Amino acid sequence: MSSGPIVQIGGVAARWLSRVGALARFGFGGARAALVLPRAGRAVVFRVTLNQIRFTAVNAIGLIVLLSGILSFLVISQAVRELGQIGATGLIGTLMVVAIVRELGPLITALAIVGRSGTAIAAELATNKVMGEVRALEGMGIDPRQYLVLPRFIGAVMSVFALLVVFDIVAISAGFAAASFNGMTGTRYTQIVLQSLSPGDVWLTVAKALAFGCIVGILPSYFGISVRRAATEVPIAVSRATVASIVGVFICSALFVAIS
């Protein structure tokens, strides 16, 4: 009896490790599959990737502009008022760069894409599996990771990166508007933001975009394609994919803070 909790914890850990291992195999297998694409197959993957980018990035620009604009406007408005009272408006640049560009920007962008496209990817691939399309692909000698996963993965990585650039541009512009609205000159705002922004921040943001893109691209695909044959498994797969992606994004964000 005394070993009960230990056995349970061990069981949970073993299942978790097994899932991580399966995920790693899935990812590496997909990467290897990408290397052996014939020319005509590459053209198909390219076309599907473009479709994925259109859905994940282009169609989500409005949402990202809205989220970024409102967040930045609220934060900078409050900061100008509060920090202005103690004469510390110079910290607004740090606030904009550290809080919004470096931390919240990648996080909110990734979460928005998880909610909007990660769920769609998981649902689509799960439906492909339930409808027998994945089995048919395998039966034709096509690696489903080449046709179904690879374009979604590339599309997600590129989309997260592109939307993060949009997020940062809109955030800095909305901050500019908020600062002007609250009595700060545009020149001063630009000066303190540029002073706070270092090349390291830019590279960190790029690294985060790539890492979050990988999470958003691979986890929903993995959970979507892991369903078996029942249609009732589709919503479960979508739910698991969403939760795993959100947790993955937060853990990855924490790791970036720890190592930077």
Query: Which residues sit at the interface with other proteins, rule CB under 8 A?
Result: 29, 36-41, 43-44, 128, 131-133, 135-143, 146-147
User: Could you tell me the smallest distance in angstroms from the CB atom of residue 60 to other proteins?
Assistant: 20
User: Could you tell me the smallest distance in angstroms from the CB atom of residue 124 to other proteins?
Assistant: 9
Is residue 75 within 8 Å of 99, Cβ to Cβ? yes
| Half-sphere exposure at residue 117, Cβ-oriented, CA atoms within 13 angstroms | 31
Report the residue number, 9 or 31, with the smaller CB distance to other proteins.
Answer: 31
Report the residue number, 15 or 25, with the smaller CB distance to other proteins.
Answer: 25
Please name which of 132, 135, 126, 148 lies closest in space to residue 234, comparing C-alpha atoms: 126
Report the residue number, 82 or 138, with the smaller CB distance to other proteins.
Answer: 138
Report the residue number, 1 or 40, with the smaller CB distance to other proteins.
Answer: 40
User: Could you tell me the smallest distance in angstroms from the CB atom of residue 51 to other proteins?
Assistant: 9
User: Could you tell me the smallest distance in angstroms from the CB atom of residue 219 to other proteins?
Assistant: 22
- Can you give the C-alpha Rg of the chain in angstroms? 22
* Collapsed DSSP state (helix, strand, coil) of residue 2: coil
Report the residue number, 71 or 126, with the smaller CB distance to other proteins.
Answer: 126
> How crowded is residue 186: how many other Cβ atoms within 10 Å of its Cβ?
11
The whole-angstrom separation of Cα 50 and Cα 233 is: 28
The whole-angstrom separation of Cα 45 and Cα 54 is: 14
User: Could you tell me the smallest distance in angstroms from the CB atom of residue 112 to other proteins?
Assistant: 24
The whole-angstrom separation of Cα 106 and Cα 68 is: 11
Residue type, 55: F
